[in-house]
Amino acid sequence: MEYVVNLMDVTVKPGEWARQREDEGWHVLSVADHFYTDHRPFPHVWVAATAVASATTRVKVTTSFVNNLLRSPVEVAQAALLLHKVSSGRFELGLGAGWAEGEITDAGMEYPVPRDRAGMYVEAIQIVRSLLTEGTCLFRGNYYQIDTKNLGPLSDPPPLLIGSVGGPRTVREVTPFLDRVEIKASSASTRGGKLDLEILADVTESHLSSMIEKVRNIRPDIELGMFVLCNAGTDDSTKSLETKMGANLYSRFFGSPE
């Protein structure tokens, strides 16, 4: 089992943060990908991930998750290929569908309806998979028309491709192209374009087990991960969140660190 810690704070220096986490013994250091949320601005995913990789020597580096709505899959693959070289083979690419509506529309971009958002993600995963391994991709889909002829630098082995799956379609159509599946049992809580804590609190262990079974039916031996929102502390805000989480799956991730 590996534990991943996610950088979401613009007030820290990514390199210093990374060295401290490596010394603490974390297995993987990750960087989130948002412009901002209701609560905070976020560091730029590729700038921060490069700083994390450059400041460390042992720990693996990943993204949780590159937002498919913000960039072309060709740019995502190009950045991943070079960061894999910069990190001496320690980089793993996490790519997600994107979910936060506000940051998308505030930036003047269109926020797709759920069906199209999932469809774009399914196609982007296939494009990125080809580019990471071959450096080329000819793809004609409903959302992307790609004819990329020479992307690099290629590595052997290429960076691992990790996908975040939550709904039935992404489980079914994204899983076959991945090296590791990130189970997002909380996907229903962000389907409306923002985090809904009431829906998050309703996520059950049986729902997680069902998702794992569906993934295993497609890829019996694929590595699995789970994305967890957590808040550890004894302050009033954390206590309030702990109360809201009730007694279901995510309740164990909010509250006192004791």
pLDDT tens string 96-130: 999 999 999 999 999 999 999 999 999 999 999 99
Asked if the structure places residue 250 within a domain, the reply is no
pLDDT, tens only, 41-57 = 999 999 999 999 999 99
* pTM, entire model: 0.94
Is position 58 within any domain? Answer: yes
Residue type, 177: F
Q: Does 257 fall in a domain?
A: no
Q: Does residue 204 form part of some domain?
A: yes
Cβ neighbors of 174 (< 8 A, separation 6 or more) are: 121, 122, 125, 163, 165
Rounded Cα distance between 160 and 146, Å, is: 22
Query: Do residues 145 and 139 make contact, with C-beta atoms less than 8 angstroms apart?
Result: yes
Longest dimension (CA), the chain: 55
Calpha distance 32→19 (Å, rounded): 18
Tell me whether residue 233 is in a domain.
no
Cα gap 168→184, rounded to integer Å: 11
Q: Is residue 88 assigned to a domain?
A: yes
Residues 6 or more apart in contact with residue 157 via CB below 8 angstroms: 89
Where are the alpha helices (H) located in 135-204, listed in sequence order? 168-174, 197-201
Indicate whether 151 belongs to any domain: yes
pLDDT at 75 (0 to 100): 98
| Total number of domains in the chain | 1
Q: Is the pLDDT of residue 95 over 80?
A: yes
* Residue 252 domain-assigned (yes or no): no
Residue 22's domain is classified under what CATH number? 3.20.20.30
Structural domain of residue 18, as residue ranges? 4-227
The model's pLDDT over 121-158, given as tens digits with 9 standing for 90+, comes to 999 999 999 999 999 999 999 999 999 999 999 999 99
